């Protein structure tokens, strides 16, 4: 009997640096969400009291939000995200000592036949998840694996040094 091996894909993990172009991407994406939320506000003739509703509606139109499960042990945080149909090349994990970003952009082509001419339509599906961590992690030790549509990220906590009291033994 032959042993079966599970296929495990490893998405890219990058540590964020101060001038990372990723921050421009996040800023532009948030601006797009804000612009769409403002359109909802304007369409209601500037009626106040729906800010959060407008933001969430705009966010849901522009981004997909995978289901996340976050757990913590004494040594690490673990994040599991449902990302069915995505490959490791379509997912990127970015970390800094107190945050995790999970991003994905997937281009899809939809073929249409209209009469005698063939045409295709391309759409882009993307998501951005940002999770603030309550304790510092070690970005160099973060792991990620993609298996059966579930992305699992291991985020080891940074080991804190312990102070040891030094006593002076005088003779």
Q: Along the chain (171 residues), what's the average pLDDT of each consecutive run of 10 residues?
A: 45 74 84 93 91 90 86 95 89 91 76 55 72 92 93 90 67 57
pLDDT of the residue at 111: 60
Residue 126 in 3-state DSSP?
A: strand
Q: Which residues fall within 8 angstroms of residue 36, CB to CB, at 6 or more apart?
A: 58, 61, 62
Res 4: pLDDT? 39
How far lies 140's CA from each of 4, 31, 42, 71, 73, in Å? 31, 31, 46, 20, 19
Segments making up each domain of the chain, as ranges? 12-156
What was the pLDDT predicted at 2?
43
The rounded distance, in Å, linking the Cα atoms of 102 and 65 is 10
Nearest to 135 by CA among 110, 100, 101, 170: 100
The pTM (predicted TM-score) of the whole model is: 0.67
What is the reported pLDDT for 34? 93
Give the residue carrying structure tokens 């295709």. 120
The residues near 148 (Cβ < 8 Å, ≥ 6 apart) are: 6
Given its phi and psi angles, is residue 40 left (phi above 0), alpha (psi -120 to 50 degrees) or beta? alpha
Quote the pLDDT of residue 9: 54
The dihedral sign for the CA sequence 71, 72, 75, 79: positive
**pLDDT value, residue 61:** 84
Residue 155 and residue 132 in contact, taking contact as beta carbons nearer than 8 Å: no
Q: SS3 of 115, please?
A: coil
DSSP 140: G
Domain 12-156 -> CATH class? mainly beta
């Amino acid at each position: 009997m032959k042993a079966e091996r599970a296929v495990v894909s490893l998405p890219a993990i990058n540590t964020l640096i101060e001038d990372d172009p990723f921050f421009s991407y996040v800023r532009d994406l948030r601006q797009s969400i804000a612009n769409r939320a403002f359109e909802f506000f304007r369409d209601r003739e500037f009626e106040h009291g729906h800010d959060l509703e407008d933001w969430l509606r705009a966010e849901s139109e522009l981004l997909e939000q995978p289901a996340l499960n976050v757990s913590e042990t004494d040594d690490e945080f673990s994040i599991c995200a449902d990302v069915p149909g995505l490959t490791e090349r379509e997912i990127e994990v970015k970390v800094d000592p107190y945050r995790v970003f999970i991003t994905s952009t997937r281009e899809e082509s939809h073929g249409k036949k209209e009469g005698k001419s063939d045409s295709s339509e391309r759409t882009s599906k993307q998501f951005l998840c940002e999770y603030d961590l309550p304790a510092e992690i070690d970005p160099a030790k973060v792991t990620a694996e993609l298996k059966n549509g579930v992305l699992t990220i291991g985020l080891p906590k940074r080991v804190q040094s312990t102070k040891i009291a030094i006593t002076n033994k005088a003779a």
